[in-house]
Amino acid sequence: MVTTSGTDQAAAALNRINQYRTQVGVASATMHSSLKASAASHVAYYLQNVPISGSIHDQIEGKPGFTGKSFFDRAARFGYPNSQSTNEDIDTIADPVSAVDRLMATLNHRIPLLDPAYPDIGIASGATPDGKNPITVIDFGMPIWKESFQPAFFIWPPENGTNFFRSYRGESPDLFRKAGLNPAYPIGTPLSITYRGPGTIRYDANAMSLTDATGKAVAFHKVADLNSFFTARNSAVIASVQPLAPDTIYTVTFTYSINNGATQVRKWSFSTGATMGGGTLPEPKPGLANADSSVRTLWQGADGPVASGAVRRTWLYGPDIFEARYEPYDEAPGGKRVVYYLDKARLEITNPNGNRASQWFITSGLLVRELISGNLQLGDNHFEPRGPAQVPVAGDPGPVNPAAPTYATFSGLSSLSNDRRVLDRTGQPVLELLAKDGKVSTLPTAPAKVTCTSYEKTLGHNLPDVLMRWMNTLPGGWLYVLGLPLSEPYWMRVKVGGVEKDVLAQVFERRALTFTPSNTPEWQVEMGNIGRHYFTWRYGL
């Protein structure tokens, strides 16, 4: 048995790829059903046969799930029209959005993600039921063979880009070592230029340069001809011998000629992200446009489709960052970390020098734990008593919603210390009604049919079907977004827009979820405004 990711995760990953492509002027790619089927077949094969002997891209005939030796063969089997003009990226992580970000931090695997030669993409991912052996497969396709594409050039990082990766630890195949170099990893992020126009390009290895903001030359590795590997054909690359410095502007220069014509120069600048240690940093500003690039990328994958109107559903984070600031945190460099407040979350970067390819480079705070316990967290083991939040979990603000249960209401019902566990009630209806004073009564008939469908053993709580279906669509996985469930699901009567409604609510470590059966289907399940609630509790604003 294997577990594979759903369509929404693949769509979020494609959206992330297209965000990167937009930054370098390359047209968006589309999901191709044949390539998606090909990728899914290789995920299934991998999960049935791990550990894999030989290349992770190849299958062995006769093994369970065999659908073709190479990605060329699999593309042909599933009906892609030009199967010999395909390519494939693989990462050993089950979250395809995070996989895209990790691959963008490489060189060889980054290029097909941006390549205008590949307008068709298929994405699949999965893991074995124990969560081990994760994999993401991204297949690329060129539907009709062509020699040249537009734009003729694409570069990375993009011109005037900000907050980009600082270091690179190699990949397989390693194009630097294939070129006869022997970098001492980690080195600086590879800065590349790729040509997809007509004719033959020649890069001048002696006229490549990398300088910092003062004009000082930076020592670097260089390869002026990456044609030893098809993916990186007609590309050149510079990578500093040491990881790039934080919060620094760099300028990179490549010189080339096409068909032995006149010498041409491509020169551009970009900047790395800031670190919280060693020096005074400007205060962060509200607005997504001012946020760290990793935050913008996370938001785009989750809420970009909502903002564009491509999907109709609740925001997962919110339409924009309404507040950004440094907050004290003992384990962060310099004792403070940058946080970004959105309606439905607070996003944090505790270690700005950490692995940007990791899903946990950005975290959503355990805000519900703090609101219920009344303990403001200032470090892994440092808390300041404030008192539980007298803020309604659902519906209108307290002054116009006086009877609604608050976060304080949940203090006696939540597993804050692995206590207040309940029995597995899978298959049983949810009939419990919660009052503001914490009293729980049993309804003779629920406002809507809701059944416990899953039991989370870690803290001992049941999950209802109406929430679980929605949770399983969350990009990055529901545990990353919500945390563990702290309570059981409860019905409550609250005012929403001044109108009293029946709402089902359940609190998790990071978020609160509600189900309002009287809403239209796409708005029945919603994230609570935890970012706003927490900000009000913490700052009184």
Residue 500: how many other CB atoms lie within 10 Å: 13
Place of tokens 């559903």: 313
Rounded distance, CA 194 to CA 393, Å? 52
Residue 233: how many other CB atoms lie within 10 Å: 17
Asked whether 215 and 269 are in contact (CB, 8 A), the reply is no
Asked whether 523 and 313 are in contact (CB, 8 A), the reply is yes
Rounded distance, CA 476 to CA 137, Å? 16
Encoding tokens for residue 328? 């004290």
**Of 162-171, 202-211, 264-273, which gets the smallest average pLDDT?**
162-171
Task: Determine the 3-state secondary structure of 130 from DSSP.
Answer: coil
Question: Taking 80 as the threshold, does the pLDDT of residue 228 lie above it?
Answer: no
Asked whether 92 and 213 are in contact (CB, 8 A), the reply is no
311 pLDDT tier (thresholds 50, 70, 90)? confident
Place of tokens 């469930």: 485
Overall average pLDDT of the 287-312 stretch = 89
What backbone torsions phi and psi does residue 473 show, to the nearest 5 degrees?
-100, -5
Residue 366, judged by CB atoms within 10 A of its CB (0-12, 13-18, 19+), counts as: middle
Sign, Cα dihedral of 243, 246, 247, 248: negative
357 pLDDT tier (thresholds 50, 70, 90)? confident
Place of tokens 């990179």: 252
Sign, Cα dihedral of 380, 381, 386, 390: positive
Amino acid 282: pLDDT: 54
Amino acid 99: pLDDT: 85
pLDDT tens-digit map of 418-433: 899 999 999 999 999 9
Amino acid 275: pLDDT: 41
- Angle between helix axes 7-23 and 96-104 (nearest 10 degrees) is 30
Question: Taking 90 as the threshold, does the pLDDT of residue 467 lie above it?
Answer: yes
Task: Determine the 3-state secondary structure of 67 from DSSP.
Answer: coil
Amino acid 259: pLDDT: 97
Overall average pLDDT of the 511-524 stretch = 95
Asked whether 142 and 192 are in contact (CB, 8 A), the reply is no
From residue 464, alpha-carbon distances to 151, 395, 446 in Å are 49, 20, 13
Alpha-helical segments (H) within 50-90: 71-77
Amino acid 210: pLDDT: 97
Q: Is 318 left (phi over 0), alpha (psi -120 to 50) or beta?
A: left
Question: Taking 50 as the threshold, does the pLDDT of residue 278 lie above it?
Answer: no
Residue 380, judged by CB atoms within 10 A of its CB (0-12, 13-18, 19+), counts as: exposed
Amino acid 353: pLDDT: 67
Residues 6+ apart with CB under 8 A from 264: 255, 256, 257, 258
Amino acid 334: pLDDT: 67
Question: Taking 70 as the threshold, does the pLDDT of residue 1 lie above it?
Answer: no
**Of 82-91, 105-114, 123-132, which gets the smallest average pLDDT?**
123-132
Amino acid 390: pLDDT: 95
Rounded distance, CA 51 to CA 134, Å? 12
Rounded distance, CA 373 to CA 371, Å? 6
pTM, full prediction = 0.55
